[in-house]
Structure 1
Amino acid sequence: MSPQSTHPPTSETFSAAAAVELAVIERSGFVESRHLGSAVVVDPDGAPLIELGAPAEPVLTRSSLKPLQALACLEMGVPLAGESLVLATASHRAEEGHVEVVAGMLDSVGLGPEDLQCPAVAPADRGDRMRVRKDGTLVSPLHFNCSGKHAAFLMAQQLGGHDTAAYLDPDSAVQRQVAATVAEYCGGPSDFVGVDGCGAPVHALPLTRLAAGIGRLAAGTTEHARTLRDAVLAHPWAIEGHGRPNSVVVEKLGILAKFGAEGVMVMGTPGGHAVAVKCLDGSSRPTTMVALELLVTAGALPAEQVVPVLAELDHRVTGGIGGDGEPAVVGALRSSSAVLTAAEQLGRR
């Protein structure tokens, strides 16, 4: 069953005129590309500390909302814990461990991969594609990056005695709970609900309200929020994959991090500070760097911890081969002046 938009598609993302430059790609001293967007950092009460661009305008949250969608399943009594709870929150790479956990989630309520309504795809990484090809299961809905979220939705419907075939319908029990959880944590209902790439309802929210909701969750303001946050921090590999940006940030910095398609990123600290970023061109390339640097600027993370993480994620630009036989570094992804001077806003608040 394919969900339908619950509002006329009249809303839109902020314009380029309202955006600011968030980052640039520099090659051989020449600025080659520019990423425009908006960003906001909020304090533990949800009040903005830093605002860049148009963070009060709605954006489609995409997978950055998954922590709140998983939280909604907990609030319905779904027995998610540990890795299964993280997979409900994840945009995974279909590593072997990811697939095994999602399959187990479905099996625990008497369901299987055939009940998933997300697309069937191959794993994201070559090694995993080679592994599953030998088993004759190259393409499967279990491999889709949102399959853990879909499995959690199915569990909620099944355990509540609701129609599992309708789990993507905005009027289904689980999607009504998602809407209620979003409203509770983000200070009101979504501005717009459409259809995400996986087929599930996708909610539009201003970045400021999205960041506030993620901050409340990351701070563990309820028992369910603490359960989810602690699971993610205990199993960082599961939220994206070994060596992937979200997993590295969670593991090395002990904060919640979740990207969404089309250039969306949220991060929340256990202290309740949070950041939300939207890159207007839909690129995720600058979002981790921008989000972390803004959290440092706001005093929510220590720079000495963030610098090695950014180095590990490697934002260098290469060209040709150097004398050591390795790719020669000729530039880098760099934050814009708007991001680097954001500290000036702190003194005005």
Structure 2
Amino acid sequence: MPETFPVTAAVELAVVERSGFVESRHSGSAVVLAPDGTTIASHGAPGAAVLPRSTLKPLQALACVTAGASLGGERLALATASHSGTERHVAVVRSILEEAGLTEDDLGCPPAWPGDSAARDEMVRDHAAPSRLRMNCSGKHAAMLLACRASGWDTASYLDPSHPLQLHIREVIERLSGERPSATAIDGCGAPVHAVTLTGLARGIHRMGTSSERSPFALHRTAAALIAAVREHPWTIDGPGRPDTVVIERTGVFAKTGAEGLIVMVAPDGTTAAAKMLDGSSRAASTVALRLLERAGAVTTADADRARTDLGLAVRGGGQIVGVIRPVV
């Protein structure tokens, strides 16, 4: 059976400190690429395969645009999001579907409550039911449907791994990661997710983050536009006060979290960090990736600390701050 790296190959990446006592440890693997794409730091087993989960979304969104989806600005940024389901997010997803001549019913992602507590409370007060539009992957799915419409592909089967769109997505992943996926699984939203190494994932995101909108190649122009769109509209990729949005707003770093403890970040200079927490927890992922970029000189300590202040890393006891979740790499 395909699998990721074992416990024996992992290294400690972060600890949870309470009243001066280390009560929990997060182990995993991580890798840092320099602006020129060379590996400058390696922890654990970054050469082992991982399921990238939502950290794959930038590559999936890129493939949707190169397959014909007409997306720009907030709509392009939201195509790569794991959004919190606010009304603002939902409005953008609806606009993508409307351009495709489709509705919420055409989305293949499952109905869900929004991650944003205010939006959820409002839905409860209105006696509303979970919605496919509120599911955090609805922007990705809407972009996939728009790509299918543009290319004349069937929309009902767009999540089938053998569908032309999914085959195109796989080709883009292979091209940018430099790897052939070692396995294909079904993500939580129902879309195919392809296993690549953590280094391969970092390479793919690095190539997007260092692309130029003046490139002679359409793939790289689109990649640059996508990264720029997310940095210009950081609320789209996650939500107000949520980790990826906080990191982008405070540091200018492109950040994308994935389920099961995955994270990728690309600094403005192209330095790229990717990490996988082996226990599947994401609570330390952002601070670990920030520390890796900080140690590489791509993010200032002041900016990293400013982001950490708003990342919910404080450990509380009796209503008081008694500790912190901190990186140890």
CA distance in 2, matches of 1:28, 1:135: 43
Give 1:134 deviation, angstroms. 5.0
Tell me if the contact between 1:13 and 1:57 (Cα under 8 Å) persists in the aligned partners: yes
Give 1:143 deviation, angstroms. 0.8
CA distance in 1, matches of 2:55, 2:241: 19
Q: Which residue of 24, 28, 41 corresponds with 1:37?
A: 28
Give 1:218 deviation, angstroms. 1.1
Aligned partner letter, 1:190:
P
Q: Which SS does the other structure have where 2:235 is aligned?
A: helix
Q: Which residue of 45, 53, 60 corresponds with 1:69?
A: 60
Q: 2:320 maps to which residue?
A: 328
Tell me if the contact between 2:67 and 2:150 (Cα under 8 Å) persists in the aligned partners: no
Summarize deviations over 1:308-343 as a string: whole Å, max 9, x none. Answer: 1112223111101xxxxxx2111111222xx0xxxx
1:235 has 2:226 as partner:
no
Q: 1:291 maps to which residue?
A: 289
Give 1:47 deviation, angstroms. 1.9
CA distance in 2, matches of 1:154, 1:214: 23
1:98 has 2:96 as partner:
no
Summarize deviations over 1:35-69 as a string: whole Å, max 9, x none. Answer: 11000001133321100000000000000010110
CA distance in 2, matches of 1:226, 1:35: 33
Q: 2:191 maps to which residue?
A: 200
Give 1:139 deviation, angstroms. 1.0
Tell me if the contact between 2:160 and 2:166 (Cα under 8 Å) persists in the aligned partners: yes
Q: 2:48 maps to which residue?
A: 57
Q: Which SS does the other structure have where 1:164 is aligned?
A: coil
Tell me if the contact between 2:179 and 2:196 (Cα under 8 Å) persists in the aligned partners: no
5+ residue gaps, structure 2, are 213-219
Give 1:135 deviation, angstroms. 4.9
Q: 1:157 maps to which residue?
A: 148
Q: Which residue of 161, 165, 174 corresponds with 1:183?
A: 174
Q: 2:80 maps to which residue?
A: 89
Q: Which residue of 220, 225, 235 corresponds with 2:211?
A: 220
Aligned partner letter, 2:238:
E
Give 1:136 deviation, angstroms. 4.8
TM-score, scaled relative to structure 2: 0.95
Summarize deviations over 1:252-304 as a string: whole Å, max 9, x none. Answer: 21121000000000001232211100000000011000000001111222222
Summarize deviations over 1:118-147 as a string: whole Å, max 9, x none. Answer: 110111233212323455533111111001
Q: Which residue of 309, 312, 315 corresponds with 1:314?
A: 312
CA distance in 1, matches of 2:178, 2:262: 19
CA distance in 2, matches of 1:255, 1:156: 28
CA distance in 1, matches of 2:270, 2:95: 32
Q: 1:342 maps to which residue?
A: none
**Number of residue pairs matched?**
322
CA distance in 2, matches of 1:126, 1:115: 26
RMSD: 1.2
TM-score, scaled relative to structure 1: 0.90
The percentage of aligned residue pairs carrying the same residue is 49
Q: Which SS does the other structure have where 2:180 is aligned?
A: coil
Tell me if the contact between 1:267 and 1:275 (Cα under 8 Å) persists in the aligned partners: yes
CA distance in 2, matches of 1:172, 1:206: 24
Q: Which SS does the other structure have where 2:170 is aligned?
A: helix
Summarize deviations over 1:90-119 as a string: whole Å, max 9, x none. Answer: 001101101111111101111000001111
Q: Which residue of 284, 296, 302 corresponds with 1:304?
A: 302
Shift in CA distance, 264/136, structure 1 to aligned 2, threshold 3 Å: same
Q: Which SS does the other structure have where 2:283 is aligned?
A: coil
CA distance in 2, matches of 1:126, 1:269: 30
Give 1:193 deviation, angstroms. 1.1
Tell me if the contact between 1:154 and 1:164 (Cα under 8 Å) persists in the aligned partners: yes
CA distance in 2, matches of 1:315, 1:32: 14
Tell me if the contact between 1:215 and 1:269 (Cα under 8 Å) persists in the aligned partners: no
- Out of 288-297 and 265-274, give the one that drifted further: 265-274
Q: 2:110 maps to which residue?
A: 119
Aligned partner letter, 1:331:
G
Question: Which of structures 1 and 2 has the bigger CA Rg?
Answer: 1
CA distance in 2, matches of 1:281, 1:160: 40
